[in-house]
Each structure stands twice: as C-alpha cells, then as structure tokens.
Amino acid sequence: SQELEQSPQSLIVQEGKNLTINCTSSKTLYGLYWYKQKYGEGLIFLMMLQKGGEEKSHEKITAKLDEKKQQSSLHITASQPSHAGIYLCGADRGGSNYKLTFGKGTLLTVNP
C-alpha cells in the first residue's frame, strides 16, 4: 500500500488562480519534503517541514505540516505558467540514513 498519498494526481488551473496540493502519510513523519520537477529532469528543493504545525513560505508557495505530522499541504497563490510541473512530497521517516520515499506526485498545468 502507498504510505504517502498525494492529491490530486493532476491539476489544471488558469493563470492567477490559487491551488492546493495535499500529502497524507499513514505514519507519523520525522520530516516532509516538497520538491518540484520537470519530468526527466532533476528535483528542485522547495522546502522541508519538520515540526508539527510548521509553516514555511517561498515566494508564492506556502507549505504547512499538521500538528500530528501526518499531513502536509502545499499552496500556490496566484499561479503562473512557471509553476507548472510535477510536485512531489517526500517522507523522511527518521533514522540515520535519510531515506526519502515519495508520493505519486501531482502534475500541475497552468494555462495562460
């Protein structure tokens, strides 16, 4: 079973609209990473959340981690075509090897 569920799997929005992507873990997380990717290219690190209730922002992207550290949301305000891509949440279960496992990803299309 998928330990990390991402929704929606794909999303098409009009430029300027806000959107939210969710990531839910079946187990408590040590940390939660958000990355952006163009398929077939490297990953762009967006942010990492580690504390329950934590919220971080980078430009027009805000990510939150719930108090139980099992759910995170990524919110984009006033989306732009440059925001298009695959958004991936990665689960850090703790431990010394820093292994990340990923959700299925959300493919975001922003229409001009």
Tokens of 64: 């939150």
What residues are paired with 21 via a beta bridge? 74
68 vs 99, which CB is nearer to another protein? 99
Task: Look at residue 55 and give its three-state secondary structure.
Answer: strand
Q: Interface residues for another protein in 71-90 (CB under 8 A)?
A: 86, 88
Q: How far apart are CA 44 and CA 37, in angstroms?
A: 6
Asked whether position 50 contacts another protein by CB under 8 A, the answer is yes
Among 28, 57, 101, 111, binds another protein (CB under 8 A): 101
User: Does residue 23 contact residue 35 with C-beta atoms inside 8 Å?
Assistant: no
Binding site for another protein (CB under 8 A): 6, 30-31, 33, 35, 39-43, 45, 47-48, 50, 86, 88, 92, 97-105, 107
